[in-house]
Each structure stands twice: as C-alpha cells, then as structure tokens.
Amino acid sequence: MKTIRLLSVVGALAATSWFAPAAHAAQPLLTPAELSTAQQASPAAVVIDIREPKLYAQGHIPGALNAPYGKWRGPATNPGELPDTAKLTALVQSLGLTPASHAVVVSTGADATDFGAMARVYWSLKVLGLKELSIVNGGMKRWVADGKPVSTEVPKVAASNYQPTLDDSLIATRDQVRQHVDLSNAALVDSRPDAFYKGETRAPAAKLSGTLPGAQQLDFNQWFVKGTAQFVDRDTARQIAQKITRQDGQDTVAFCNTGHWAATDWFGLSEMAGLPHVKLYAGSMVDWTQQPDAPAMQNQPGRAQSLAYDAQQWWQRKFK
C-alpha cells in the first residue's frame, strides 16, 4: 500500500476524502452565540452540562440538563473503560435524547484537559448512535464571558425510549490494538505529553510506563489557541492532523492514559480535520498495562527506574 505523509499542502488535501466533512449537519463546535441561535431555532437542541451538580446548581445555560462527567466513565480501576450499554442507555434516556436530538455538551471551559471531558462525552454519544452533536467551544467560561444568560432553574424532561446500537467503527478494543501492534497496520496516536510518552511517568492505575510500540505522539495540547481553552478552527485542525503518518485506508487509533486526553485527539482528527477511520482506545494505557501477560511496550524505563518510581508513588500516597 502506498504510504501517505500528511505533511503536504493543506489546500490540496482538504479537497480529498482524507479531509471530508463530518457526516452530520450540526457543527462540532459552537460559539455561545451559535448555541443561542440553535436553541431558539429548534426544540431538538438539548444542552448537556457535565459539570458536578454543585457547579450546575450555581448557574447553568438556560434549559441545560445535568449529567456529570463521572456518569460517562468506567470504574476507578479502569476509568477509561466504556460503561456497559445498559447504564449508558438509561443515562441518555433520562436526558430525553432521541435520534432527532441535537445534543450539545458543555463543561467548565477551564483548560485543555476540561475540553477532553466534553470530547469524551461527545464521542460516547456518537458511539451510542446519535448524529447531531456539538461542543460549546470554551465551555461555561466563554458563555459567561460573552454575557450570555445563566439560570438556576432545573428543567424537567420526559425520559425517552431510545435504544442505542453501538457504533463499533469508533471503538478500538484491546484485542484490536494488540493486532495493530503485531501487524503494524494502523496509526497509533499517543495523545499524552512528553513525560508519559517517553516513559518518565505514568498514570497511577497503569502498571507500566511507556507507550505502544510504533506509536506516534500528538500531544492533545496542540489543538488549542495558545494561552486559551479555545479549540482551533478547521483549517488549523487540518494542519495539526498532517503531523500523523499512516498508510492509505488504515485506521487511526488515539489513546492516552484513560481515554480522556485521547478524546481530544479523536475529536480533532475525526470531527474537525475530517479524517476517516479514526477510533478511540477508551481504556488506553491503563487497560493495556493491566493485561495478565506482559504487554508489548515502547519507551519503557529500566527496572531500577521503575522501582524508584513505584517507591516514590508509594511514599506520596502514604504520607501526603
């Protein structure tokens, strides 16, 4: 197969299927003004506020429903794991969502990591078969800064009977990732900052440091306008996407520690740059390193360094 390096001219690639627009009518990113217009134009617009209940109660976008981020995550031992379908079905039904809904996700907008929470919920909703999806660019921070109204009224919504069918094309399982590693037949994209990618540190729930063999790094922080939590525009997203190398027709699999930062890479590559076949490895490195047999790793530190790191973590937990 011919190898394609996504470092060629943006304008030329933008006209190809590599950068085809996302297959939904709703814009992936909405400014506060655009959300206000959407709310006025259609009763199908459902704002999902994923902040903690205390922050939601202090003030939220009028009409917004509260569904804290923790409800969209897995257990503490593997927080990136996608919750079971029954749990997610009950959640989206409680929000009154149907295939006709335009679901708009909002969080604090505090920083780039907070955007990852919105991107992860967006991805989860898309996995559940919803097509009309958006994120409030800048979250509540920008909503308030733009002078938009805030409400403390908790709206009531009738539960729906929506029965999702999971879209497996958006999910990379551990077995699929293992096959990609063995066959070198996908672009594996590590969304984490240098210290994680180079094996200098790791998430507390991860058993090993390092990254997947053959993984390319695309630090999630690159997707934001410098000094802000504002996601970049489409043209800039396409430029960032060109940093990834893959063979024509292959999958791109984004991963991080627990599928949070990687959701930002997934969103940028898939929804903004328009690349096809982009998947998220939800469990990411925590899930990968919890395999019973020693998993294949790259940039793994030596035994002495690993033991020193484990001792440091134990000390911090015991005496912090």
Q: In terms of Cα–Cα distance, which of 163, 159, 65, 58 is closest to 105?
A: 65
Residues 145-152, mean pLDDT to the nearest whole number: 98
Confidence of residue 294 (pLDDT cuts 50, 70, 90): confident
Burial grade of 311 (CB within 10 A; 0-12, 13-18, 19 or more): exposed
Cβ-based neighbour number of residue 56 at 10 Å:
20
**Is the pLDDT at 282 greater than 60, yes or no?**
yes
The predicted pLDDT at position 301 comes to 83
3-class SS of residue 109: coil
Give the percent of the chain with pLDDT over 90: 82
